[in-house]
Amino acid sequence: MKNKIVLTGGCGFIGSHTCVELQNAGYDVVIFDNLSNSEASVIDGIEKITGIRPAFYQIDCTDKGAVYQAFQQEGPIAGVVHFAASKAVGESVHKPILYYRNNLTSLMNMLEAAQDFHLKGFVFSSSCTVYGEPDSVPVDETAPIKPATSPYGNTKQIAEEIIQDYEHTGVDFNAIILRYFNPIGAHPSAEIGELPRGVPQNLLPYVCQAAMGIRKELSVFGDDYNTADGSCVRDYIDVIDLAKAHVCALNRMVEGKSAEKVEYYNLGTGHGVSVFELVNTFMEATGVKVPYKVVGRREGDIERIYGNPSHANEVLGWKAAVPLKETLANAWRWQEKLREKGVM
């Protein structure tokens, strides 16, 4: 019998790609999603790619009764990947209670469910945001956790502590915390991808919309940083690569191979890419021009961060493999598909 995995937020950007990779790896997937920042049609895209329609519950993970009912209905579950969370840094500053409630209540409900329903493993989506402005790059998992600069970032730090504290009580399941750098891209089939609502806040969705003429031009936030070309540097990781890391993490726990009750892994490429480099590589990959202008720095931006993924390479047997050009071409293909469908 296939092992069953619950994906909360499984209709979202990273969740949907992870669903595909888990199904490809032979897992049975059950999605919990309240569709607050995603569309149910994503499930059609997943089915087109894999030929398998995942089970779907439109539930909010802050609703413990609904979560427990779904677990009861589904029978034995081997693991959870908990993606469901509010994720806009700027919005979190204006709506902190919403962020603390959504991100932390849902986590606590899922952790209790993991214990009560005898799961083997729990994967949590964390972020390199926990490192703040790092003292040196590349950042490895032992780098100090810096004070959070937004309520969103704080929810990730507190969530990691909650998981640690819960595991210390001697619960029966293991946890793996995955700290993502900057996830970008789309499935090469263009059946699933990122669906930003309103004006995109992240770089690549904005680049795609500017290239398509939906936005007048990209604003490059600052060219006076202490970096090679003056723009900020990030570690852009392909969403399929990222999705595959979740499969590795679950395999490790389901097979009982965890060395620690809570393990931490950075998921990045190990390479820093500047804003200008990303824009230029996009133009090379697609042949499409991106109109842009340089404006002032964005408040709260970190100058330079990229991860050292050696721990994930060595222990999980995972490595980022998709070249940046291919990732950018996939994102553009998805953008073109959205236009064909009249979505944007």
Query: Residues in the site for ligand UFG, rule: CB under 6 A?
Result: 87, 89, 127-129, 153, 182, 201-203, 206, 218-221, 232, 234, 275, 298, 301-302
**Cβ-Cβ contacts under 8 Å for 63 (sequence gap 6 or more):** 109
152 counts as catalytic: yes
To 5 degrees, how large is the angle CA 47–CA 50–CA 51?
60
Q: Which amino acid is at 55?
A: A
- Least separation in angstroms between residue 69's CB and ligand UFG is 31
Both tokens of 173, joined, read 């399941």
* SS3 of residue 336 by DSSP: helix
Question: Please, which residue, 154 or 258, has the CB nearer to ligand UFG?
Answer: 154
Reported residue count of the chain is 344
- Least separation in angstroms between residue 301's CB and ligand UFG is 5
- Least separation in angstroms between residue 149's CB and ligand UFG is 9
Question: Please, which residue, 68 or 221, has the CB nearer to ligand UFG?
Answer: 221
Q: What is the CA radius of gyration of the chain?
A: 19
- Least separation in angstroms between residue 306's CB and ligand UFG is 11
What is the distance between the alpha carbons of residues 167 and 313, in angstroms, rounded to a whole number?
Answer: 24
Bridging pattern class, strands 121-127 and 79-82: parallel
What is the distance between the alpha carbons of residues 94 and 177, in angstroms, rounded to a whole number?
Answer: 27
- Least separation in angstroms between residue 340's CB and ligand UFG is 24
- Residue 294 CA neighbour count, 13 Å, CB half: 10
| Residue showing the smallest CB distance to ligand UFG in the complex | 232
The single residue of 27, 131, 152, 264 carrying the catalytic annotation is 152
Question: Please, which residue, 101 or 298, has the CB nearer to ligand UFG?
Answer: 298
Q: Which amino acid is at 72?
A: Q
Both tokens of 234, joined, read 């990030």
CA nearest neighbour of 85 among 99, 72, 66: 99
Question: Please, which residue, 83 or 173, has the CB nearer to ligand UFG?
Answer: 83
Question: Please, which residue, 129 or 269, has the CB nearer to ligand UFG?
Answer: 129
Both tokens of 305, joined, read 């961060």
- Least separation in angstroms between residue 53's CB and ligand UFG is 30
CA nearest neighbour of 184 among 173, 196, 172: 196
> Strand runs (DSSP E) across 279-341, as ranges?
292-295
Both tokens of 244, joined, read 């595959």
Question: Please, which residue, 89 or 242, has the CB nearer to ligand UFG?
Answer: 89
**Cβ-Cβ contacts under 8 Å for 335 (sequence gap 6 or more):** 193, 208, 209, 211, 212
Active site residue ranges: 152
